[in-house]
Amino acid sequence: MKKIIPWLWMDNEAQEAANFYVSIFPNSKINKITKYPADTPSNKPIGSVMAVTFELDGNPFAALNGGTFFKLNEAVSFEIPCKDQEEIDYYTEKLSAAPESEQCGWVKDKFGVSWQIVPENMDELMSSDDPEVAKKKMEAMLKMKKIIIEDLKNIN
């Protein structure tokens, strides 16, 4: 049992979002769909989807159809450490629904969830004993929408 389970507050899209994410990440599945048993403050119909628990690459998540009280925003994001450029390209293509909001590997999906799609060795790629090289790497990364590993490796 994991100690922390992120919950995504949605209006009515919990099941659609869970199905979407499960289709993208390996080792993923829907665990449980809970329906509203009675009238609630959210005014959701009895029998409609209240919550969905699911796993993304073995990590627990949940989504709640809670109504329009809260909106997802960039204040919280989920990092996807990628082993190579192919993985970065895959997740960027699958998850980015707002190219205008892409920056430094961050994307926003069609449900408003923010993701950081970065190389798993990002710290190594960005570091240098030479402060000028480190500065150049940071400046280059800040201009990228999608992280390009080779471009960062080639800065010296």
SS3 state at 46: coil
User: What element of type H or E holds 80?
Assistant: strand 77-82
The predicted pLDDT at position 1 comes to 67
Q: Which two tokens mark 116?
A: 């950081």
pLDDT of residue 45: 84
Report pLDDT digits (tens) over 75-131.
Answer: 999 999 999 999 999 999 999 998 888 999 999 999 999 999 999 999 999 999 999
Phi-psi domain of 47 (left: phi exceeds 0; alpha: psi -120 through 50; beta: other): left
- Express each pLDDT in 39-76 by its tens digit: 676 678 888 999 999 999 999 999 999 988 899 998 99
Q: If you average pLDDT over residues 135-146, what whole number do you get?
A: 96
CA 154, CA 125: separation in Å to the nearest integer?
10
Q: What is the pLDDT of residue 141?
A: 96
Token pair, residue 103, equals 């920056």
User: Rounded distance, CA 110 to CA 8, Å?
Assistant: 13
Kindly report the pTM of this predicted structure: 0.91
- If you search the block for the tokens 């960062």, which residue do you land on? 152
